[in-house]
Amino acid sequence: MERTFAIIKPDAVERNLIGKVLDKIETAGFRIVGMKKMQLSRAQAEGFYYVHKERPFFGDLCSFMSRSPVVVLCLEKENAIADWRTLMGATNPANAEAGTIRKEFAKNIEENTVHGSDAPETAAFEIPYFFSALELA
Ligand code: CMP
């Protein structure tokens, strides 16, 4: 079993898409180990995305991620990291495969509905950034 970290981003929460995204997650066989809705501060968004701090889109990305609530999730299944990335689809929805969450719901490359860890080391940083051990059931 493997765990990964996911976010349902502000563009999706604003459009009342939490339930539709969760349905796809559960239908694909992920177990929801941890879940909470929260409002990120600008500093919390910057800390989460620090690996992108030199990118030209960093400022806009942190403004977007802190403009309204998100849902953060810890997901578990075999091959969870790769399988969640497959279910999300490409970062840019214009390049996403049919049937993926970003193809169906994402607005553009920035407001792309969901986030997922890209590697085990990333998941090992991202899960405890948001969840304590007691919150992972
Ligand atoms: P995510 O998977 O959360 O990882 C980093 C985020 O930065 C990405 O999804 C997008 O929301 C955003 N992002 C990545 N590339 C770009 C880009 N070229 N322009 C704007 N935002 C981007």
Q: How many CA atoms lie within 13 A of 136 on its CB side?
A: 15
Q: What percent of the chain has pLDDT over 70?
A: 100
* Residue 36 CA: distances (Å) to CA of 89, 91, 100, 105, 113: 23, 23, 23, 21, 16
Residue whose C-alpha is closest to residue 40's, from 19, 11, 4, 10: 10
Mean per-residue pLDDT for 4-9?
98
CA-based nearest residue to 117, from 93, 83, 81, 92: 81
Is the C-beta atom of 118 inside 6 A of ligand 1? Answer: no
Output the CA 116–ligand 1 centroid distance in Å. 11
Average pLDDT over residues 51-55: 97
Question: How many angstroms separate the CA atoms of 6 and 35, rounded?
Answer: 9
Is residue 132 pLDDT above 90, yes or no?
yes
Query: How much is the mean pLDDT over the chain?
Result: 98
Compute the distance between CA of residue 49 and CA of residue 60 in angstroms, rounded to an integer: 12
Query: DSSP string covering 87-104, please?
Result: HH--SSGGGPPTTSHHHH
Closest ligand 1 atom, residue 7 Cα: 3
Question: What residues act catalytically?
Answer: 115
Please state the rounded mean pLDDT for residues 69-90: 98
- Nearest Cα neighbor of 6 from 76, 68, 53 is 76
pTM for the full model? 0.97
Average pLDDT, integer, range 65-89: 98
pLDDT in tens, 92-103: 999 999 999 999
Q: Is the pLDDT of residue 137 over 90?
A: no
* pLDDT (tens digit per residue) in 10-49: 999 999 999 999 999 999 999 999 999 999 999 999 999 9
Cα distance between residue 17 and residue 29, in whole Å: 19
